């Protein structure tokens, strides 16, 4: 079983750093369907197996949203677009390292297919809408 290739390509990299946002987003061909730049892209600093485990028992499913919350916390790199409305190849990002984050994903067939958002543990009250 492999992580869904697109999810892994867009969101999982144990070696990602804040400085690599522009390079990695370009190399991985991460754009919107119309070739405009994504406003943000989040990279989870982890090996694929740990991310997969969110959908295999190490996550908390929320019936209201249909999303699964990680029970473990992760370090992430959040790449934010510097200029709204930019299009490839002019996507310039600013990267930030965030630690101790709960990851919220959509699972299908025990694999994460969509990165929804990240939260601090204090923002993730059991089952309550945020």
* Cβ–Cβ < 8 Å for 101, 85: no
pLDDT at residue 2 tops 80: no
Q: What is each CA distance from 56 to 50, 101, 110, 130, in whole angstroms?
A: 10, 19, 6, 24
Provide φ and ψ at 41, rounded to 5°: -140, 130
Mean pLDDT of 87-115: 96
pLDDT tens, residue by residue, 38-50: 999 999 999 999 9
Which of the residues are catalytic?
11, 114
Structure confidence at residue 20 (pLDDT): 98
Domain boundaries, the chain: 5-123
Round to whole Å and give the CA distance between 61 and 96.
28
Paired with 41 in beta bridges are: 79
pLDDT band at residue 129 using 50, 70 and 90 as cut-offs: very low
pLDDT tens, residue by residue, 54-92: 999 999 999 999 999 999 999 999 999 999 999 998 999
* E-only strand ranges, the chain: 40-44, 59-62, 67-70, 74-81, 93-108, 111-119
What CATH architecture does domain 5-123 belong to?
Roll (3.10)
Q: What is each CA distance from 62 to 54, 78, 106, in whole angstroms?
A: 13, 24, 10
pLDDT at residue 126 tops 60: no
């Amino acid at each position: 079983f492999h992580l869904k290739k697109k999810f892994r390509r867009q969101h999982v990299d144990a070696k990602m750093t804040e400085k690599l946002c522009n390079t990695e987003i370009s190399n991985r061909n991460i754009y919107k369907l119309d070739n405009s730049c994504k406003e943000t892209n989040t990279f989870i600093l982890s090996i694929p197996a740990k991310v997969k485990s969110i959908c295999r028992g190490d996550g908390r499913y929320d019936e209201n949203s249909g999303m699964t919350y990680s029970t473990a916390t992760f370090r992430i790199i959040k790449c934010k677009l510097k200029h709204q409305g930019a299009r490839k190849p002019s996507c310039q990002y600013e990267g930030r390292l965030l630690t101790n984050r709960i990851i919220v994903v959509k699972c299908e067939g025990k694999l994460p297919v969509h990165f929804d958002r990240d939260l601090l543990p204090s923002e993730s009250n059991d089952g309550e809408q945020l």
